[in-house]
Amino acid sequence: MTVDLTDSIAPKSDQLNADDLIAGPITVTIDRVTGGNTEQPVNIHLTERPGRPYRPSKSMRRILVMAWGRESDIYAGRRITLYRNPDIKFGGE
């Protein structure tokens, strides 16, 4: 009997994580953008990952503003490719 391991490797988190990108880049569609909290001020909700928004860093938010403008209403329906750089470390880890 074949067992699908996909569910067993999914991170237990309320957001998209670098671990979700270990297998390679993903191209996703932006459903909508909402405000978050002080630590994570932006939630980019993804059509392909409901309930697990992408929370971009400040540098990525700057890139988004430069590319698409400061008003997030126009982001819906646009596609973005997300990837993980294994050489980048967070907090010395």
- Compute the Cα dihedral for 93, 37, 76, 70 and give only its sign: negative
Tens of pLDDT, residue by residue over 23-42, are: 899 999 999 999 999 999 99
Altogether, the residues listed in the chain come to a count of 93
What does the mean pLDDT of the chain come to?
91
Quote the pTM value: 0.83
Which of 6-20, 50-64, 66-80 is predicted least confidently? 6-20
Rg over CA atoms, the chain: 14
As a whole number, mean pLDDT of residues 56-82 equals 96
Q: Which tokens go with 79?
A: 């596609």
pLDDT of residue 93: 58
Question: CA-to-CA distance for 59 and 73, rounded, in angstroms?
Answer: 20
Q: State which amino acid sits at residue 1.
A: M
pLDDT of residue 12: 72
